[in-house]
Amino acid sequence: MSAYSKMLVAIDLTEEAPQVLNKAKAVCESHGAELLLIHVVEPVGYAYGGDIPMDLTELQDQLDKAAHDQLAGYGDQYDIPKANQVVTVGRPESEIHRLAKEHEVDLIIVGSHGRKGFQLLLGSTANGVLHGTECDVLAVRIN
C-alpha cells in the first residue's frame, strides 16, 4: 500500500501553475492516489487593508467566478473531476490546512517561489502551509 492515498495540490492560477500541476499529477499517479485541486481566493478587503468604505461584493464575486472558471480549465486539462475541484475564499495557509484536514489528505503539494533568507527555500504561502499542517508537504520549486 502506498504512503499516500489522497493528495491536495494548491495552485495560484498564475502561468507557473502547470509546473506545480505536472509534478502533482506525476506524484499522484505514481502512488495511485486521488488528487484534490484547490485555489484560495483572498478576500478583496485584504488587498485594500479593509480601509476603503465601499462595497466590494461585486468585485469579490467576479474574482470568485474567474477562479472557478480557471480551475475548471485546469481540472479538464489534468483530468481532475469537478467533485475534486475546490475554490474557497480566505487566507491561503489557513484554507489549505482546513481542506487538508477536512478531506483527510496525506500530502499537500504547493509551488515555491524563491525569496530571501529561509523563504529562499519556501515561498511565504508554502512556508505557512508547512508550519501548521498535520501531513507531509511537497514544495515544488518554480523556475
pLDDT tens for 49-100 read 555 566 778 888 898 999 999 999 999 999 999 999 999 999 999 999 999 9
In this structure, the chain runs to a length of 143
Structural domain includes residue 10 = yes
In this prediction, residue 65 carries a pLDDT of 94
CB atoms within 10 A of CB 47: 12
Give 10-49 pLDDT, tens digit per residue.
Answer: 999 889 999 999 999 999 999 999 999 999 998 876 555 5
Give 107-139 pLDDT, tens digit per residue.
Answer: 999 988 655 444 444 457 777 888 888 899 998
Structural domain includes residue 99 = yes
* pTM for the predicted model, two decimal places: 0.84
Structural domain includes residue 1 = no
> What is the CATH number for 62?
3.40.50.620
Structural domain includes residue 51 = yes
Structural domain includes residue 122 = yes
- Total count of domains within the chain: 1
In this prediction, residue 114 carries a pLDDT of 57
Burial 84-107 (b: 16+ CB within 10 A, else e): bbbbbeeebbebbbebbeeeebbb
Domain span holding position 105: 6-141
Structural domain includes residue 81 = yes
